[in-house]
Chains A and B, each alone.
Chain A
Amino acid sequence: MADRIEIGFKEGIRDALGDKIKRRIIEHLQIAVDRVRTIDVHTVDGDLIPGELEKAAAGPLSDPIIQEYAINRGLAQGFEWMIEVGFRPGVTDNVGKTAKEAISLLLGISSDQLRGVYTSRQYMIDGPISRHDAENIASNLLANELIERYEIVDGKSWDHQKGMAPHVPRVFGGDRLSVEEIDLDVSDGTLLKISNERVLALNLVEMKTLRDYLGDDAVLQGRREVGLGKKMTDAELECLAQTWSEHCKHKIFNARIVYEDEHGAFEKIDSLFDTYIKGSTKKIRERLGKDDWCISVFIDNAGIIRFNDECNLVFKVETHNSPSALDPYGGALTGIVGVNRDPFGTGKGAKLIFNTDVFCFAPPNYDKPLPKRILHPRRIYEGVREGVEHGGNKSGIPTVNGSIVFDERYLGKPLVYCGTAGIMPAVLQGQPSHTKEIQPGDMIVMAGGRIGKDGIHGATFSSEELHEGSPVTAVQIGDPITQKKMTDFLLIARDRGLYRAITDNGAGGLSSSVGETARLCGGCEMDLKKAPLKYPGLNPWEILISESQERMTLAVAPEHVQAFLDLARKMDVEATALGTYTDSGKFHVRYGEETVAYLDMDFLHDGVPQMQLRAKWLPPRHAEPDFTEPADMGKSLRGMLSRFNICSKEAVVRQYDHEVQGGSVIKPLVGACNDGPGDAAVIRPVLSSYEGVVVAHGICPRYGDIDAYHMAACAIDEAVRNAIAVGGTLERLAGLDNFCWCDPVQSEKTPDGEYKLSQLVRANRALYDYTTAYGVPCISGKDSMKNDYQIGDTKISIPPTLLFSTIGKMEDVRKAVTMDAKQADHLVYVLGVTYPELGGSEWYAMHGFVGNQVPKVHAERAKALYDALSRAIQAGLVASCHDCSDGGLGVALAETAFAGGLGLFIDFALVPSEGIDRNDTLLFSESQSRFVVTISPEAKDPFEDMMKGVVIGCVGVVLSEGVLKIDGFRGNRIIEEDIHLLKAIWQKPLNF
């Protein structure tokens, strides 16, 4: 039977969550309500006697100082409407899990007596609202009906003595487990139908390859020996679909592409990934020769570079876009805890030292009708923010760097980039830590969470557009504490040498983690019946491909299995041996005695046929703006500072713990009032050393509307110059590329696929050109190629977006520099040349134009500038340094001033520029590779000496009076603005 324990605040105690919900109802939904109160409900599914329920309620479940409780009656009284929101069956309920553990420990009872605890929350709303309003609040704010159910109670009909009946969202699985066999010896049309109906996301060529595989006599012979026939099992088909998915195999990046340029010239590219990304890194490493500091690139879950003689750094950035569109909170939370497992599962495992996050959303004030199945951008913003907050903060990993980009085209799919870095000893038990090795006979052990239906089809789902039938099971909610317990355990197991190899369970679940690691020895045999499940009723294929979170797969030598499992048990982590790694050449999966999958390893991993694609580049022409130079430039600057892409992101940054682990050196918020926008983060991962890690990124999707080549070049330049701005150097800087594209494969659905693919080709070329020019090798990356939304006639495609992240080594963090002006009378310099490059700029966007003059990066000149600036910073000559990006010089100067709490006087006649004849162009041009730097007057000569050979201009001086004064070309004052006012304007838009 089930009982309800309700917990609420005592009268007079502030209900902060209720207050927050009230604000959101008023601000987001424009519904006037007077008061919102909340009650937490625990539905206890078990055989507890009243005294035990009382003990649980008064003990771990409530706080005697501020809370009261009610058992099997309603705690709420005197409200107009009540909305109770609870999870649907099978959705991860972290609080319920903790409550169950706490009650079991308190009462000393087992799972037989206490089967589960399920949580829900009541919102009591006072105010003159209708049932319709209550429905609106429930479905558009409080509950996400994909994963939650809600119930609305009218206060007039409420009987608090009776309360609400317990509702137990248990999963009732059928006990008839089945293995279906699918006949692939069918027509092409039927093959495609099978692919579509089963969300396999395989094309006809790939389906035919499967058909042919089953036509091979040698294959059939082997299958017969294990009891399989000419048909493919559902487990095999699903496993192949996961392994061959765009998400896992990067088929577009590995395709053979015929590229046609604007002049009709053709070029053949055999794999963008090999040619440009790996190609660039290879060239840079060759150039470095024996000084090469790349340790492991592109072969593991994350890239590894040298930090010092004792330690290596590991870094990976992932995206979790599709799930975040459906459930922003769960999707983003899973995104961050998911990417945590990448560096954690690299080599022999790394300790995690920081997170990064970059989001792309539609503007939060979007006010047009929403297409079907799309959540309002503000809701996505809040949900994603909170998901990353819980994922990062609860894992004890500082979130040190990030940004938010706004563009209406992210309405269909938001982009949620999450990065995580780790540090690992270079050597463990006398062996290098960055390699993986598995010997036949090693046990396959899964550790961490249990398997449910959550996340089934995640890999294939993200390999297609968001559509009407996008599966609900693809959504999952991470559990950072289960993961933290697992990582605590595995780091100890690692240091004791208890396992030989580790990898994470992400996309594709066991099929992918075991399938991939089995390549290291040449085969595997495992029994899915041994896998611990969240609830009964999962079919073998579901167990095999489920993407349930918080799981690592390990190869454990037989002699260490007992010690490994013992340690896991003590540390309260579930670990289960599922089978053995072999050298049979087969991916062999059983459920008990019955074989459910038997595939050749070669076919599984190398059987996917290479795609053949065409790309055709035709440069777009946009209208050139026709507005005149504004008379009031101060107003223009204020307008720019309040744009979503430029304004302060402090409210989000503060909600992320950016200092845990104690090594924070340059924080995301800097300056006189701790509220200026830091260019990049610096941390000390080893507290006993001054050696540091620099982290930065660049992203500028708007330039892609003109030419994705320059979009990519600018993203790389931005990521590099941000790192340089705080004290990083090009000598030890690595990059990570994350391409998020809209579908670039020409089809009926995508008639402009050839153009989109040409954008991808061009972005990759830029990546090659600029990473080699700067000597910044890519060490890892990821692509997400189907960021489209299509329901009915509505199609929304994201703008092609490259996030370029950089990670670097800093020899001495005490040399680091921040962006805020430090002292009156310091000299202000602009480094680098300003060109009339407003194409794709914020200034044009503010006027509704794209234009054509996209910023271009002059790599050789930029490199000389970066090297010189790095030397000046190392020499301690630079007081502040701020990069110029969105909003150009105008925004960079304003930020330098107000972050420092000081004014600036700037003479535009002294700013190095070429071809500029308007003040607004000089103010807002987004030319790359530029900085605003301040230095003390005594540093003038040595600084200018050091900067010889690169273009700089001493353009003004720091003022004690808090005013930003700019004289235009013609000598007249074009801006005179109070910095406190500018800051207030800059801080306001996203301060919610």
Chain B
Amino acid sequence: MPKIVKSIVITGNGTNCEMEMAHACRLAGSDEVDIVHISMLLYGEKSLDDYHFLNLPGGFLDGDDLGSAKAGANRILHAGIEGRDEKLYDQFVRFIAQGKLILGVCNGFQLLVKLGMLPGFDGDYRKQTVTLTFNDSGRFEDRWVYLHVNWQSPCIFTRGIGDLYLPVRHGEGKFIAQDEDVLERLHDNGHVAVQYSHHHYADIAVDYPANPNGSIHGIAGICNSTGRIFGLMPHPEAYLHYTNHPRWTREKLPEEGMGLNIFKNAINFLRGASL
């Protein structure tokens, strides 16, 4: 018997891609999918402990007013759960320790990075070593990008995926590492899961617009060392059906969108995992 996979999609305070993220989880086969407002976590009405797959969708947490996801990260780090002696952050740490899966897209990726959960070197999930900041263009852009997938990466979500074509929709997606050592370590240990590329998916894109934000080495998404936490700027939940593709009226495309595989990998992994 396959085990029941439960997914949670956190929303509130400016998150706005929760609906399509939940839809992706359902299409991918998750048995239960709950969109949960963060206040329900903070008031103890829901708990991360009851789920296997944590989705942090795109949006503008607190308007990204202090820099993308900064105020959102501050909330997770410091807000306590009503009536319990724990912070929301403690639930995150427990979730990770149990080997469950976390996917952060766009603002969710920014959140994971600023919490220190990605790349999470040496199991330290509170130390920020990389960041996502303002695009070189100085503007928000909605643009489809080609992504090269690193097969050497332990990333669970990108397993077996050859190419990805997805939209970015952000103003703060430029990936920067703290220093050369961090960058080297990211590459050496396969943290770098997806990179902006040119349209044949092979060459890494350095220049705008193929690299839409000026990210170093075209880094578009990274995972932790176990591959169970994954964050990326492009939106896999925005390409679930061929009619989402910007050229579906002129190209023959499979029924399912490329983004769905990310979610299928997650659900399939969880179904086989003993959690």
Contacts and interface: CB of A to CB of B under 8 A. Distances in A.
Contacts of B66: 60-61, 95, 98-99, 102
A59 B72 CA distance: 12
B136 A16 contact: yes
A674 B246 contact: yes
B140 A389 contact: yes
Contacts of B163: none
A660 B131 contact: no
A411 to B, nearest CB: 26
Given A13-B176, A66-B133, A485-B13, A106 B244 contact: no
Most buried by A among B43, B142, B178: B142
B124 to A, nearest CB: 14
A818 B243 CA distance: 12
Given A63-B67, A65-B130, A105-B74, A481 B244 contact: no
A97 B62 CA distance: 10
Most buried by A among B15, B59, B62, B129: B62
A325 interface: no
A108 to B, nearest CB: 8
B200 interface: no
Interface string B204-231: 0000000000100000000000000000
B135 A59 contact: no
A660 B11 contact: no
Given A20-B138, A571-B39, A98 B65 contact: yes
Contacts of A665: 243-244
Interface string B14-34: 111101100100000000000
B17 A393 contact: no
Contact of A60 (B74, B131, B133, B136): B74
A384 interface: no
A688 interface: yes
Given A94-B65, A480-B63, A571-B39, A16 B70 contact: no
Interface in A871-887: 880
A63 B73 CA distance: 11
A348 interface: no
A536 interface: no
B189 to A, nearest CB: 19
Given A105-B78, A655-B141, A63 B131 contact: yes
A672 B140 contact: no
Contacts of A658: 142
Interface string A382-412: 0000000100011111000000000000000
B78 A664 contact: no
Interface residues of A, number: 72
B19 A662 contact: yes
Given A95-B65, A102-B62, A660-B17, A674 B144 contact: yes
Given A393-B60, A818-B250, A485 B20 contact: no
Given A654-B141, A667-B246, A102 B71 contact: yes
B94 interface: no
B79 interface: yes
B119 interface: no
A669 interface: yes
A64 B128 contact: yes
Contact of B135 (A13, A16, A397): A16
Contacts of B143: 654, 674
A860 interface: no
A687 interface: yes
Interface residue SS majority, chain B: mixed
B139 interface: yes
Nearest to A823: B250
B74 A59 contact: yes
Contact of A19 (B12, B138, B142): B138
Interface in A77-119: 94-95, 97-99, 101-102, 105-106
Interface string A781-813: 000000000000000000000000000000001
A769 interface: no
A394 B170 CA distance: 11
Contact of A654 (B37, B39, B142, B246): B142
Interface in A643-677: 653-667, 669-672, 674
A835 to B, nearest CB: 31
Contact of B62 (A63, A65, A101, A822): A101
Nearest to A484: B14
Given A63-B114, A66-B131, A660 B16 contact: yes
A292 B238 CA distance: 35
Interface string B60-86: 101111110011011100110000000
A17 interface: yes
A629 interface: no
Contacts of B63: 94-95, 98, 394, 479-481
Contacts of B237: 662
A47 B237 CA distance: 45
Contacts of A660: 16-17, 58, 169, 238
Interface of B: 11-17, 19-20, 23, 37, 39-40, 43, 58-60, 62-67, 70-71, 73-75, 78-79, 114, 128-131, 133-144, 167, 169, 174, 176-178, 214, 235, 237-238, 240, 243-244, 246-247, 249-250
Interface of A: 13-14, 16-17, 19-20, 59-67, 94-95, 97-99, 101-102, 105-106, 389, 393-397, 479-481, 484-485, 488, 492, 570-572, 653-667, 669-672, 674, 684, 687-688, 813-814, 816-818, 820, 822, 880, 900
12 contacts: A14-B174, A17-B138, A62-B67, A65-B177, A102-B70, A481-B65, A485-B13, A660-B169, A661-B16, A662-B20, A671-B250, A674-B247
Given A98-B65, A571-B39, A657-B169, 19 more contacts: A16-B136, A20-B139, A62-B67, A65-B178, A98-B71, A99-B65, A99-B71, A101-B62, A393-B140, A394-B14, A481-B65, A570-B43, A659-B167, A659-B244, A662-B244, A664-B238, A672-B250, A674-B143, A813-B243
